[in-house]
Amino acid sequence: MQTKLKNKLLQLIGLFFLSISVHSLFGQQDQIEWKDISLSDIRVGAERTEIYFPWIKDKRIALVVNQTSKIRDRHIVDSLLDAGINIVKIFSPEHGFRGDADAGARVHNQVDDKTGITIISLYGRNYKPRSSDLKDVDIVIFDIQDVGVRFYTYISTMHYVMEACAENNKTFIVLDRPNPNGFYIDGPVMKDQYTSFVGLHPVPLVHGLTIAEYALMINGEGWLKKGIQCDLKYVVVSNYKHSYFYNLPVKPSPNLPDIKAIYLYPSLG
């Protein structure tokens, strides 16, 4: 009983601070185009194959993907294989390729049963691809749904993959997706002395950026090691504005099962 009351109290506190943040940032709400959208209303970067297929044709491709990496109702791996794209390996983030590993649980290397493609974990012994991992790769594609919060580790994984690509002269492509917390920015900016895998950059707790915008900021601000620059390409999500409320079609991780959890996450993480 005490646990239920405690959880309820935490939810109410989270909603209280969330409401304060939204109202303080969007005091002039008549200037904001509020709109609820779903996957049917937009085209995520992965879906815009007419843009990036010419970049990857006849190239050796590595993917950084998980269960959110879909083109409509099909996984991007299946779609690319059907199109004749040469996928040589997959890199998996926290929670694994299937998105079913618990928070903080070490993810192991494996071979995908369905495709036979090698899956290399970036949440096990290494957070960053090794030079040997990229030796047989021309291009790395990143397509993972983020939730717009600094300590959500997918953006840290992206940082280290970008860094590895820069060090090994590989092209890095980001396929953009909406940010479900992209309609506001809030929280303290992280201080350098607290840098870790759950916070690599001096950004607010809720940063407000899509994943492609975040990649551009990492590159543009010189946040990769020694200020190196990644050969970065990106495909933006179309028909999307930051004032839109986006309801994710797939839960981004085990403990964020729905949009309520995603909205509460910044205050409870």
Whether the pLDDT of residue 145 is over 80: the answer is: yes
* DSSP summary character for residue 102: P
- pLDDT given for residue 23 in this prediction: 42
**pLDDT for residue 80:** 97
Kindly tell me the sign of the dihedral angle through the C-alpha atoms of 144, 149, 155, 156: negative
pLDDT of residue 26: 40
Helix (H) / strand (E) containing 13? helix 2-25
205 in Cβ contact with 187 (< 8 Å): yes
pLDDT value at position 120? Answer: 93
Q: What is the pLDDT of residue 124?
A: 85
For residue 91, pLDDT over 70 is answered with yes
* Fold held by 42-268: Rossmann fold (3.40.50)
The predicted structure's pLDDT at residue 29: 42
Question: What pLDDT score was predicted for residue 129?
Answer: 97
pLDDT at residue 141, rounded to an integer: 98
pLDDT at 114 over 90: no
The percent of residues in the chain predicted with pLDDT above 70, rounded, is: 84
pLDDT digits (tens, 9 = 90+) for 4-28: 554 444 444 444 444 444 444 444 4
**What's residue 58's pLDDT?**
97
The predicted model gives 105-119 an average pLDDT of 83
Whether residue 102 has pLDDT greater than 90: no
Reported as a pLDDT band with limits 50, 70 and 90, residue 36 is confident
Q: How far is CA 64 from CA 1, 88, 122, 182, 268, in A?
A: 42, 12, 9, 22, 27
d(CA 262, CA 229): 32
Q: What CA–CA distance (Å, rounded) separates 214 from 142?
A: 12
Tell me the per-residue pLDDT of 174-197, one tens digit each, with 9 for 90 and over. 999 999 999 999 999 999 999 999
List pLDDT tens digits, range 213-253. Answer: 999 999 999 999 999 999 999 999 999 999 999 999 999 99
> Average pLDDT, whole number, for the chain?
87
* Residue 269 confidence (pLDDT): 66
Q: What per-residue confidence (pLDDT) applies to 103? A: 64
